[in-house]
């Protein structure tokens, strides 16, 4: 990985880019993952490369859902494995969630490499190697584990594709997504749409989970029942608008 000077004004973003590129070289991230990262970066620019108020609102509700779930599962793809493996493991440990590898561009080798990468980051068990259940989809993201995603009541699917998200929602699951694009089909279909960078969101959620674990069950239930996903998405779009207005003011000054 290229050394990025820590005082570079866009250090975090450049580091993420290096991690995804390294993921491709290691064989855990698909080449198409580079395009997805680029698309994410452009939305992050518009958002102002920060976790906004609406993102934190959704992240809090998402953590409550994970903590209350009977069978929570975190679905991991090649980009998430390259960007934030330790954060996935930390969040899974605190919330008691299972981890399952699920890929659009699936090969047995990639699944194996991602599982090993997650294990090297501290995961004890990672599902996804021998999928024994299938979702009603025509691509490889249909292949799931019967004790993982297939029977999960709450699924965290960072960087999801819209059609699997829709299928999971139709199956009656609480689907939590992390996607910097508030207009994507994924964001518009999920139960809880987190519009934030996956690296920041998973870090925030692990911290929140540590604190919220001590809260009473009723408090967590209240957080979920009062949560309004339309408000979260509309909030994300208007935060982009506000950020752009600030940028216009800076340019005009
Ligand atoms: P959809 O079917 O939901 O409309 P899409 O086809 O627009 O999805 P993909 O190309 O499948 O999207 O996946 C890329 C998505 O992931 C983009 O919406 C992008 O904003 C988001 N993304 C990429 N990198 C990150 C990241 N690091 N953090 C959060 N979101 C990201």
Question: Is 100 part of any domain?
Answer: yes
> At 197, which CATH number?
3.40.50.12640
* Cα(23) to centroid(ligand 1), Å: 17
Q: Is 100:127 a contact under the CB 8 Å cutoff?
A: yes
Q: What is the pLDDT of residue 9?
A: 79
Question: Which of 23, 184, 201 gets mutated to test ligand 1 (max ligand atoms within 8 A of its CB)?
Answer: 184
Please enumerate in sequence order all residues whose Cβ is within 8 A of that of 25, keeping only pairs 6 or more positions apart, or say none. none
Q: Is 196:52 a contact under the CB 8 Å cutoff?
A: yes
DSSP state of 5: P
Give the closest residue (by CA) to ligand 1 atom 8: 161
Q: What is the pLDDT of residue 7?
A: 83
Question: Is 5 part of any domain?
Answer: no
Question: Is 161 part of any domain?
Answer: yes
Mean pLDDT on 81-99: 98
The total number of structural domains that make up the chain: 1
pLDDT band for 252, please (50, 70, 90 cuts).
Answer: confident
Question: Is 43 part of any domain?
Answer: no
Question: Is 210 part of any domain?
Answer: yes
Give the closest residue (by CA) to ligand 1 atom 11: 161
Question: Is 98 part of any domain?
Answer: yes
* Cα(12) to centroid(ligand 1), Å: 18
* Cα(170) to centroid(ligand 1), Å: 21
* Cα(43) to centroid(ligand 1), Å: 9
**Which two three-digit tokens encode residue 248?**
């216009």
CA distance 210 to 91: 9
pLDDT in tens, 160-181: 888 999 999 999 999 999 999 9
Give the closest residue (by CA) to ligand 1 atom 12: 161
Give the closest residue (by CA) to ligand 1 atom 13: 36
Instruction: Return the H-helix or E-strand segment holding 15.
Output: helix 11-26
* Cα(38) to centroid(ligand 1), Å: 9
Place of tokens 């960072």: 158
Mean pLDDT on 96-109: 96
* Cα(20) to centroid(ligand 1), Å: 14
pLDDT band for 119, please (50, 70, 90 cuts).
Answer: very high
Largest Cα–Cα distance in the chain? Answer: 60
Question: Is 183 part of any domain?
Answer: yes
Is the per-residue pLDDT at 2 higher than 80? no
Question: Is 63 part of any domain?
Answer: yes
* Cα(192) to centroid(ligand 1), Å: 16
Percentage of residues in the chain having pLDDT higher than 90: 89
pLDDT in tens, 187-201: 999 999 999 999 999
Ligand 1 atom, smallest distance to 36 CA: 14
Q: Which residues line ligand 1 (CB under 6 A)?
A: 36-37, 39-40, 43, 83, 159, 161-162, 178-181, 184-186, 197-198
5 against 87, higher pLDDT: 87
Q: Is 18:2 a contact under the CB 8 Å cutoff?
A: yes
For residue 153, the enclosing domain spans: 53-240
């Amino acid at each position: 990985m290229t050394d990025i000077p820590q005082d570079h004004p866009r250090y975090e973003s450049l580091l993420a880019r290096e991690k995804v590129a390294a993921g491709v070289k290691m064989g855990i991230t698909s080449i198409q993952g580079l395009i997805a990262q680029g698309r994410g970066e452009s939305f992050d620019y518009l958002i102002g490369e920060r976790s906004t108020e609406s993102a934190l609102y959704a992240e809090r509700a998402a953590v409550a859902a994970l903590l209350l779930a009977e069978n929570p599962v975190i679905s991991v793809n090649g980009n998430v494995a390259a960007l934030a493996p330790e954060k996935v493991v930390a969040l899974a440990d605190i919330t008691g969630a299972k981890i399952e590898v699920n890929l659009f561009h699936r090969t047995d080798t990639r699944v194996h490499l991602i599982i090993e990468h997650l294990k090297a980051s501290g995961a004890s068990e990672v599902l996804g190697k021998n999928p024994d259940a299938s979702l009603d989809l025509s691509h490889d993201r249909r292949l799931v584990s019967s004790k993982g995603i297939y029977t999960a009541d709450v699924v965290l699917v960072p960087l999801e594709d819209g059609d699997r998200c829709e299928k999971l929602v139709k199956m009656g699951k609480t689907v939590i997504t992390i996607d910097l694009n508030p207009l994507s089909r994924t964001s518009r279909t999920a139960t809880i749409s987190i519009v934030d960078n996956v690296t920041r969101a998973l870090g925030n959620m692990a911290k929140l989970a540590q604190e919220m674990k001590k809260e009473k069950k009723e408090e967590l239930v209240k957080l979920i029942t009062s949560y309004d996903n339309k408000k979260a998405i509309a909030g994300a779009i208007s935060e982009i608008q506000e950020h752009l207005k600030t940028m216009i003011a800076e340019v005009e000054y």
